[in-house]
Amino acid sequence: MYMGMKLIDLVETHAEPIARQWARNVRKNPFTPYYHSMPEKDLVPQAVVFYENFRRLFMEPKPVEASQGYFTRYAEESYRKGVPLHEALYALILMRRQIWLYAEFQVLFLTAVEQNLAVESITRTILMFDYAVYFISKRYRELMKLEWFEAPNT
């Protein structure tokens, strides 16, 4: 878990600059056109909240329950704003990538031992995002059903 801690510390202490990088990325990425017209100042807090929650989600002994609550809310907010599902998911994927880009930039995983531990850290992060994608797409479906009574296979 040591490397996980190192990553969490990095994310927490650098939440703001990572969030800014993410906002810049998402505002020009061709997979997230919805975000292009959103001002950076509206986007940054969204990512900061996520990065600040990262420790709790990462360390949670029951990651499923923790992810469910957080990412269901993320889905509801995105849905209310009118973000298409695939863009909401990709924006989240970019949040994860931004951590890694920043971690690489900070040469966090330099030595052979650290590389070894990095595998564990990546696996744990990916597990969290697997649940995230599942819960977000599930919640979008439920919300679409509420509006459409019974939308086609969503």
Separation CA 61–CA 29 (nearest Å): 34
Q: Which stretch binds other proteins (CB under 8 A): 14-22, 39-47, 48-56, 130-138?
A: 130-138
Separation CA 52–CA 123 (nearest Å): 20
Least Å from the CB of residue 109 to other proteins = 8
Separation CA 63–CA 115 (nearest Å): 24
Site string for other proteins, 26-45 (x = CB under 8 A): -----x--------------
Least Å from the CB of residue 79 to other proteins = 7
User: In the complex, which residues of this chain contact other proteins (CB under 8 A)?
Assistant: 31, 79, 82, 84-86, 89-90, 93, 97, 100, 109, 112-113, 115-116, 118-119, 122-123, 126, 130, 133-135, 137-138, 140-141, 144, 147-148, 151-154
